[in-house]
């Protein structure tokens, strides 16, 4: 695609990646993604803000064909999907300086083998005049790595935010056209990439509150001409109380655990508790991550396999621990044949979760009436906890 005008002398550049289906070798991309770079032409200086993932480099380089001079390359985030084409850009513009946070400088040297002399590091709040346009650099750690910053273009009231407020969407629409679609994609992005840093994100949102924002231009996905939409969503995901929902990731080989899961789901619904159910053998792990954003309770359903949880259940639990959702309660249900350490293993895998463990329900073989009664009790206990905490 050709460069696209956002405002006077401010252009989107970059690449729409329609084909990729996996990000960071881990994260499902149902509809691809985009890598957004931005060109800002001041009356005296020209800036390229971020670049693209190296496999997309040709597209950015051809967009730069008509650009005779770049004075600065701003690198907001050292991860290669934004920084990886900086070496090629510097080959074309050997006099350009790279502007980054001091921490990003070290990481860019580690990752791209750039030389020390080409850097200008900026402190939090520092400004750079491009003549009639002024960039203000705002350090914003942990969106998504410790070195990240965002950039505010003062005269045009545009916030360039890199991974912050990003979404994995491939489309030819430069600006958000369908807020529902973007909400889903941005929520998935937040869940998978930013949720682990919820505490710092809250601080970063507070830091941005005083700024008058007309446009937010992220590093992935579409540009927001209505920043309130995405800021409100982030406030809810980050600060909102857990909801009256049980997230129930499970796996079952011969249906015993599945029978338990089905019984528990029905019992919870009867008690007025919402359930989001994920069969880990077939689920889109991104959907599970999204459901974890606001669930009050997690119940893991797993048979015992080789003395511990089924590997898919271990993966689901590992992921939940890594994503640090705001859930307050957790339990485990499942079937076993002769014995093992399923509960101990799973309980030992969640040190990051600030959760109370509600008594697990395990059964030998196919569930019996006693098991179903125990699952009814578990549903009552969960509904009770949700009521006590005003989640219902």
Alpha-carbon distance of 138 to 101, in angstroms, equals 9
Task: Closer to Fe ion by CB, 25 or 115: give it.
Answer: 25
Secondary structure element (H or E) that encloses residue 162, with its range: strand 158-162
Does position 50 bind Fe ion by CB under 5 A? no
Answer with the entry of ligand FMN, Fe ion, none that 305 interacts with (C-beta below 5 to 8 A by kind). Answer: ligand FMN
Q: x/- contact string, 74-113, with Fe ion (CB under 5 A)? A: -----x-x--------------------------------
Alpha-carbon distance of 125 to 39, in angstroms, equals 21
Contact 122, 128 (CB under 8 A): yes
Site for Fe ion in 150-169 (CB under 5 A): 163
**Residue 5 CB, nearest approach to Fe ion (Å):** 23
Among 83, 18, 20, 91, CA closest to 53: 83
Answer with the entry of ligand FMN, Fe ion, none that 163 interacts with (C-beta below 5 to 8 A by kind). Answer: Fe ion
Site for Fe ion in 109-148 (CB under 5 A): 144
Decide: helix, strand or coil at residue 364. Answer: strand
Site for ligand FMN in 252-281 (CB under 6 A): 252-258
Answer with the entry of ligand FMN, Fe ion, none that 144 interacts with (C-beta below 5 to 8 A by kind). Answer: Fe ion
Task: Closer to ligand FMN by CB, 151 or 257: give it.
Answer: 257
Answer with the entry of ligand FMN, Fe ion, none that 81 interacts with (C-beta below 5 to 8 A by kind). Answer: Fe ion
Written as one string, the DSSP assignment of 365-378 is SS--HHHHHHHHHH
Answer with the entry of ligand FMN, Fe ion, none that 101 interacts with (C-beta below 5 to 8 A by kind). Answer: none
Burial of 33 (0-12, 13-18, 19+ CB in 10 A): buried
User: If phi over 0 gives left and psi between -120 and 50 gives alpha, with beta otherwise, what is residue 298?
Assistant: beta
Which residues contact Fe ion by CB under 5 A?
A: 79, 81, 144, 163
Which residues contact ligand FMN by CB under 6 A?
A: 252-258, 303-307, 335-340, 365
């Amino acid at each position: 695609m050709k460069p696209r005008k956002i405002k006077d002398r401010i252009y989107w550049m970059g690449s729409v990646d329609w084909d990729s289906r996996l990000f960071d070798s881990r994260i499902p991309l149902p509809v691809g993604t985009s890598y957004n770079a931005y060109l800002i032409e001041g009356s005296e200086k020209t800036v390229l803000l971020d670049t693209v993932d190296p496999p997309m480099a040709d597209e950015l380089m051809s967009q730069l064909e008509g650009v005779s001079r770049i004075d600065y390359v701003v690198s907001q985030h050292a991860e290669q999907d934004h920084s990886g084409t900086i070496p090629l850009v510097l080959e074309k513009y050997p006099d350009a300086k790279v502007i980054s946070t001091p921490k990003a400088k070290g990481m860019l040297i580690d990752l791209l083998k750039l030389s020390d002399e080409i850097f200008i590091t900026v402190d939090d709040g520092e400004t750079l005049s491009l003549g009639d346009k002024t960039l203000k650099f705002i350090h914003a750690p942990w969106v998504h790595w410790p070195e990240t910053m965002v950039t505010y273009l003062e005269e045009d009231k545009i916030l360039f935010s890199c991974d912050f407020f990003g979404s994995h969407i491939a489309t030819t629409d430069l600006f958000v056209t369908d807020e529902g679609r973007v909400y889903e994609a941005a929520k998935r992005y937040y869940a998978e990439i930013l949720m682990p840093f919820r505490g710092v994100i809250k601080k970063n949102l507070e830091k941005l509150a005083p700024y008058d924002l007309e446009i937010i231009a992220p590093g992935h996905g579409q540009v927001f001409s209505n920043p309130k939409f995405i800021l409100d969503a982030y406030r809810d995901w980050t600060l909102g109380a857990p909801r009256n929902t049980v997230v129930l990731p499970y796996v079952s080989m011969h249906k015993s655990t599945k029978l338990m899961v089905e019984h528990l789901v029905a019992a919870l619904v009867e008690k007025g508790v919402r359930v989001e159910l994920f069969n880990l053998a077939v689920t889109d792990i991104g959907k599970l991550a999204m459901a974890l954003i606001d669930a009050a309770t997690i119940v893991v359903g797993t048979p015992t396999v080789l003395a511990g949880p089924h590997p898919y259940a271990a993966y689901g639990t590992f992921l939940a621990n890594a994503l640090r959702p705001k859930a307050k309660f957790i339990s485990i249900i499942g079937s076993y044949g002769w014995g093992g350490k399923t509960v101990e293993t799973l309980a030992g895998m969640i040190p990051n979760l600030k959760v109370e463990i509600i008594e697990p329900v395990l059964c030998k073989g196919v569930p019996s009436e006693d098991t179903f009664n125990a699952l009814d009790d578990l549903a009552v206990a969960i509904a009770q906890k949700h009521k006590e905490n005003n989640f219902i």
